[in-house]
């Protein structure tokens, strides 16, 4: 049994207590969580890669589980209704042989319909719309707002089991980032780096928490560059790689940027790395996460001044929103079962929403940090022609050192991203710990 296995029963106890409250909010007697269904592509017999409902994975760490369910009834052990169809075209999912299974009563079902027999009256269903039978099963309600609000709010605070999984996911991501850097050193293309990364994780592409972003040269200015070039650029100036891994369904989300030679872009990476580590240290219980975002804008503004890229005071850069030309996304987000974990704008179990500030629409997290929350910290500076053109046209032209910017355009941009836990003892940087363990 490993550390995560030992922590699993306690994790399940926490989920049960939350589920009791979530059920009470909708006056339900039982919670049925569907893993989801395989989706067949239009006019074809191929299916999309299966991704299980994150609420299902919260309980049962099974990735390959189409048609399975978890049933929670207050005061009872949870039931895993494991779907194992009789099929000779495909290999049916194999019943996991893992210590966590001992926490469940397990029933193998050959068809999802068989789950219906197990359901008490007033069952609340949580799952996606592709489950065709759901309208015929007589649920009390389906994804009721009050229940979902309670579940989503709670997901942000990780149990020790979840933190153990995420620590492993970050370590695996760090190892694969090292393999990617080694591939870059041989002059590999974006696509070849992707293959080296995948091989180092031992995951399939569908098992990654998100599509790898691997961007050479000016492609680094495309925030989510996933259309990977098969041919290495010449000259090869820079590489931005934003790639994660997953362990038992939990994600890591890590970005590193490299320059292939010394010069202003390498200096920018160095400054950004220091700035990013300072922001990571601010991940503490009681800190209002939007304050970290605003702090990032101040520090990025100062960095742009120090590197001679903008020609105004910090106050003017912030007042004119000039920093958003270079840093046009949020400082980060909740991380967990989903790379952009749910509930980032939610302030309580009742579902009160605080949207991001008006000038910062892409900020995904507006909560105050609690112990056990895992967030990313991912500041960046990009040279995005579309946004630079906007600044040129709208009166901010004189604030920018165009000659220096034009020299940096062929490098795309720099982003550094880590996964950080807020703990009572301070910030616990999971990804830096993963990289350190490699040395």
Residues numbered 188 to 207 that lie near Mn ion (CB under 5 A) are: none
Residue 137 touches which member of Mn ion, ligand GLY, none, C-beta under 5-8 Å by kind: none
Cβ proximity to ligand GLY, 137 vs 210, nearer residue: 210
Q: Does 242 bind ligand GLY (CB under 6 A)?
A: yes
CB of 417 to Mn ion, least distance (A): 5
Residues numbered 330 to 389 that lie near Mn ion (CB under 5 A) are: 376
**How distant, in Å, are the alpha carbons of 85, 86, 100, 200, 431 from that of 110?**
4, 7, 22, 36, 41
Distance (Å, whole) CA 184 – CA 340: 28
Q: Is 60 exposed, middle or buried (0-12, 13-18, 19+ CB in 10 A)?
A: buried
CB of 226 to Mn ion, least distance (A): 12
User: Tokens standing for 188?
Assistant: 């590999």
CB of 35 to Mn ion, least distance (A): 25
Distance (Å, whole) CA 328 – CA 211: 20
User: Tokens standing for 175?
Assistant: 């190892």
Cβ proximity to ligand GLY, 168 vs 253, nearer residue: 253
**How distant, in Å, are the alpha carbons of 101, 107, 137 from that of 112?**
20, 12, 11
Residue 210 touches which member of Mn ion, ligand GLY, none, C-beta under 5-8 Å by kind: ligand GLY
For Mn ion (CB under 5 A), the number of binding residues is 5
Residue 190 touches which member of ligand GLY, Mn ion, none, C-beta under 5-8 Å by kind: none
Which residues touch 233 (CB under 8 Å, ≥6 apart)? 216, 217
Q: Does 419 bind ligand GLY (CB under 6 A)?
A: no
What mask of x and - would describe binding to ligand GLY in positions 322 to 351, judged by CB under 6 A?
-----------------x------------
Q: Is 302 exposed, middle or buried (0-12, 13-18, 19+ CB in 10 A)?
A: middle
Q: Crossing angle, helix 160-185 and helix 190-201, to 10 degrees?
A: 140
Interface with Mn ion by CB under 5 A: which range of 179-187, 193-201, 241-249, 403-411?
241-249
DSSP 358: T
Q: What is the chain's length?
A: 439
Q: Does 253 bind Mn ion (CB under 5 A)?
A: yes
Q: Which of 168, 218, 341, 378 binds ligand GLY (CB under 6 A)?
A: 378
Residues numbered 152 to 211 that lie near ligand GLY (CB under 6 A) are: 210
CB of 397 to Mn ion, least distance (A): 32
Which residues touch 159 (CB under 8 Å, ≥6 apart)? 7, 10, 11, 14, 372
Chain contacts with ligand GLY (rule: CB under 6 A) = 210, 242, 253, 339, 378, 417
Chain contacts with Mn ion (rule: CB under 5 A) = 242, 253, 255, 376, 417
């Amino acid at each position: 049994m490993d550390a995560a296995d030992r922590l699993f029963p306690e994790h399940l106890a926490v989920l049960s207590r939350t589920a009791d409250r979530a059920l009470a909010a909708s006056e339900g007697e039982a919670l049925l969580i569907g893993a989801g269904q395989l989706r067949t592509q239009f006019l074809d017999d191929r299916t999309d890669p299966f991704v299980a409902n994150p609420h299902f994975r919260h309980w049962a760490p099974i990735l390959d589980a189409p048609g399975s369910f978890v049933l929670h009834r207050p005061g009872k052990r949870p039931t895993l209704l494991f779907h194992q169809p009789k099929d000779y075209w495909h290999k049916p999912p194999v019943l996991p042989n893992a210590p966590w299974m001992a926490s469940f009563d397990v029933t193998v079902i050959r068809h999802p319909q068989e789950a219906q027999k197990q359901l008490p009256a007033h069952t609340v269903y949580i799952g996606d719309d592709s489950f065709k039978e759901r309208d015929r099963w007589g649920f009390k309600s389906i994804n009721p707002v009050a229940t979902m609000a309670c579940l989503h709010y709670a997901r942000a605070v990780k149990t020790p089991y979840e933190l153990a999984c995420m620590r492993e996911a970050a370590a695996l991501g760090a190892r694969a980032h090292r393999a990617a850097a080694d591939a870059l050193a041989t002059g590999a293309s974006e696509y070849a780096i992707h293959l080296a990364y995948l091989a180092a994780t031992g995951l399939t592409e569908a098992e990654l928490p998100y599509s790898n972003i691997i961007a050479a040269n000016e492609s680094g200015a495309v925030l989510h560059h996933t259309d990977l070039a098969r041919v290495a650029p010449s000259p090869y100036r820079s590489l931005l790689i934003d790639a994660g891994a997953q362990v038992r369904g939990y994600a890591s989300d890590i970005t590193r940027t490299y320059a292939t030679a010394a010069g202003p872009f390498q200096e920018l990476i160095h400054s950004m790395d220091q700035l990013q580590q300072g922001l990571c240290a601010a991940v503490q219980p009681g800190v209002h996460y939007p304050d970290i975002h605003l702090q990032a804008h101040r520090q990025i503004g100062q960095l742009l001044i120090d590197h001679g890229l903008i020609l105004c005071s910090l106050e003017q850069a912030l007042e004119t929103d000039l920093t958003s030309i270079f840093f046009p996304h949020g400082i980060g987000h909740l991380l967990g079962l989903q790379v952009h974990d749910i509930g980032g704008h939610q302030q309580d179990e009742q579902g009160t929403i605080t949207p991001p500030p008006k000038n910062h629409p892409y900020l995904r997290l507006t909560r105050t940090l609690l112990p056990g929350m895992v967030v990313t910290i991912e500041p960046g500076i990009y040279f995005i022609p579309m946004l630079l053109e906007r600044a040129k046209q709208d009166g901010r032209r004189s604030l920018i050192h165009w000659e220096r910017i034009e020299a940096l355009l062929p490098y795309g941009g720099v982003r550094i991203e880590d996964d950080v836990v807020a703990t009572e003892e301070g910030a616990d940087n999971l990804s830096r710990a993963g990289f350190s363990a490699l040395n």
